[in-house]
Chain A
Amino acid sequence: MTALNALNGSNALTVRVEPAAGLRVAAVTAALATLPLSYREAGRDAEVVVVSGEPGWDERVRAAARTGARGVLVKDPVPLPTAATLQAEVPDCVIVLAETWASHPLLRSAAEQFAEPIGRAHLIDARSVEPATGRSLRAVLFAQLRAVQNLGIGVVSLAIAAETPSSILGVGRSASGARIALSAARSDTSDGSLDLLLVGRAETIRLALSDSGAVRPGRAMLTSEADAHELPTAWQSPLRTSLLALHDALSTGTPTDQLREFTEAAVLLDPGAGPSAG
């Protein structure tokens, strides 16, 4: 009976996409369409609610929880220094963040399989290019920082070293003392990807992560003294990965712990701060 339920999708969670400015509903709908056994679109009483991560997203989460949602997916959340306390406010609701690069499936694989060399890196250099009509460059830097965190790197300091109308540079340190450099620049040639280079004494790791809506795979390569190891590609967008993570969390009862590091990142990269020493 269970197998039949799975086949006809009756184990699927009901989901509602809450229309909002800044939320690309079509992209979410398209991702949900690739998960017909996990999700089934429903109306007001849905078990899962997808909300926009535009300012005020914490209130949207609270509102969804009040209507009985068991899970909320926050699409592209903006920095929120008070996010860490949100989960305690809605204890019966699982919150999962769907972030531009931080939710990329390759990042989790790299964090697991390259954990030791990541810990030995002395330099973490993140670079991306943002289209003219894209996010603010500080928002891009925040997304880079979140990707670095999701590699398992504890970031203890970060400061904006330079900021121009066309580019931005942030520098800091990891808990292990590695230099962290994050930079973003504007150009219409942007393909939305993030280029991450980690350099250690005897290894380098390079990751290319496609943007949140793309199914185009990323690439992760560890090079050591004698060989190289490339992780298998995953033809899955970060958004689909987040939807699956939410489904798994609700199915298994496993809590998520994204909000703590998200909050740390928001505090590190204070959106209101000006350039400081690097």
Chain B
Amino acid sequence: MNKKLKGKAYVLGDNIDTDQIIPAEHLVYSLSDEDESKKYGHFALSGTPPSEAGLPDGNMPFISGEKNESEYSIIIGGSNFGCGSSREHAPFALQKAGAKAVVAESYARIFYRNSVDGGFVVPFESTEKIFDKIRTGDELEIDFDSNTLLNITDGKKYELNPLGDVLPIIEAGGLFDYARQSGMIE
């Protein structure tokens, strides 16, 4: 695993539910077909109301135009990120769009599990509210060893909670790889 992760911030608020991450009408596409699954990247975060898309200004879509990938790879959220439906299509869509990590104050259980067990994005918890301190487009760096988030644009640093029990699953790349490495399955 990369010990450091660099990327541009895409900032959202509290209670970003999975209908906003990937609206239900798009759940019909194949996740395994290479071409078709690109649609998940294209529609990632398309359900977010425009005024709340890309804080603090809003009206900054995660995906521009006809693209399937985003210029932003680190998503910043508030509390209860990923609440609502159990659709694993949500962290999958974020990954397809090129996101590597989410940093939020807290997560809904199923989104958190899906992110970890499916190996899609790394769900970091911030120790404080940060979505009002970071601007969409800021250059960020996450350090896995020191559990910190550095905003390169303004030089400010934030603490992250250690990944704890799920770190071995994240390091393995997901639940199946973890289970294979630990001898649970062949």
A and B: real partners? no
Give B contacts to A, CB under 8 Å.
Answer: none
